[in-house]
Structure 1
Amino acid sequence: MRNTNPEEKLETLGSVVKVQQVIDFMVLGVLQQQGKQYNNQMEQFILRKLEGTGVNNAYLTTRLQFLFDNGHVNRWWDTDKRFNRYYSITDSGITYFLQMQHELPGRVEKALKVYHQFDAYIREFDSH
């Protein structure tokens, strides 16, 4: 039977809050708060702030590359040790951070609502 009264799609699940936005916000936030940081320092910061939930190291590197390519961070090698790369935030990074700071609270609120609704749906199967 054809649905004559379909629900209106307001958003897609993938657009609610993206992991990349979480990482970008946290990286730019720590760079603003604490100044230049190594990759592993930022990874440890994320682990502390999210109480043990971390990010795949390769994905963090990908996001740092994105932030660099878009002019949001500077990076440079510490002496000749090729594994010690410092990052710092740029003016463009501050602008991007402020934009996310404005947009993300509503997105997080929406994500919490969606996850709560999904949790309620999962629980419908508890009695079966």
Structure 2
Amino acid sequence: MARNEYPLSKQVTLHNIVRVQQVIDFFVLSELQNSRLYNNELEQRIIMHLGKQSPVNVGVNNGYLSTRLKKLTEEGHVSRAWEGDNRYNRYYQITDRGNVYFKELLKELPDQVDLAINTYTNFKQYMSKFGHIPLN
């Protein structure tokens, strides 16, 4: 094959398979479907769902979750309100606009997640080719 001949072309990049922000947005908006929740409650529910059938509890960096909640608020997908005098005691509620965004995610994410699973499975198989190389 000639040096500049590339018979395969990419249709999507690894960066665009599944964006973490979309996954977090999905979890947040799905948890807010039936009730308003505090930041801590959202975090605990995400940990519970991501840790199912896993030997480790997987969660979200607190700063990242706060950033996503702020962005979702700015975009009108959720509303934020405070209870009492404690500035950390705020709860979130989904808006009509948030329900529209949630439905968009419901359409897009399943195919993206399937592609991610396939990609990581292939990556794992690829890595197994190098399992015999000493790392020290």
TM-score normalised per structure 1: 0.95
In the alignment of these two chains, the number of paired residues is 127
Residue 26 of structure 1 deviates from its aligned partner by 0.2
- Which whole-Å CA distance do the structure 1 matches of 2:117 and 2:14 have between them? 12
Check if 1:25 corresponds to 2:26. Answer: yes
Structure number with higher helix proportion: 1
1:115 is matched with which residue? 120
Segments of 5+ residues of structure 1 without an aligned counterpart are none
* Amino acid aligned to 1:44: Q
Residue 2 of structure 1 deviates from its aligned partner by 1.1
Check if 1:37 corresponds to 2:37. Answer: yes
- Secondary structure of residue in 1 paired with 2:23: helix
Q: Could you give the per-residue CA deviations for residues 60-116 of structure 1, whole angstroms, max 9, x where no partner exists?
A: 000001100000000011111111011000000000000000110000000001001
* Amino acid aligned to 1:47: I
- Which whole-Å CA distance do the structure 2 matches of 1:44 and 1:5 have between them? 47
Which stretch shows the higher mean deviation, 102-111 or 5-14? 5-14
Q: Could you give the per-residue CA deviations for residues 6-45 of structure 1, whole angstroms, max 9, x where no partner exists?
A: 4201101010001101100000000003x10000000000
Which stretch shows the higher mean deviation, 4-13 or 111-120? 4-13
Check if 1:7 corresponds to 2:3. Answer: no
Alignment of 1:88-107 (within 5 A): 88-107=93-112
Q: Which of 113, 123, 130 is equivalent to 1:125?
A: 130
Q: Which of 75, 81, 97 is equivalent to 2:86?
A: 81
Residue 3 of structure 1 deviates from its aligned partner by 3.2
Q: Which of 62, 65, 69 is equivalent to 2:70?
A: 65
* Amino acid aligned to 1:97: F
Segments of 5+ residues of structure 2 without an aligned counterpart are 52-56
* Amino acid aligned to 2:41: Q
- Which whole-Å CA distance do the structure 2 matches of 1:90 and 1:104 have between them? 20
Percent identity (aligned): 48
TM-score normalised per structure 2: 0.90
* Amino acid aligned to 2:22: Q
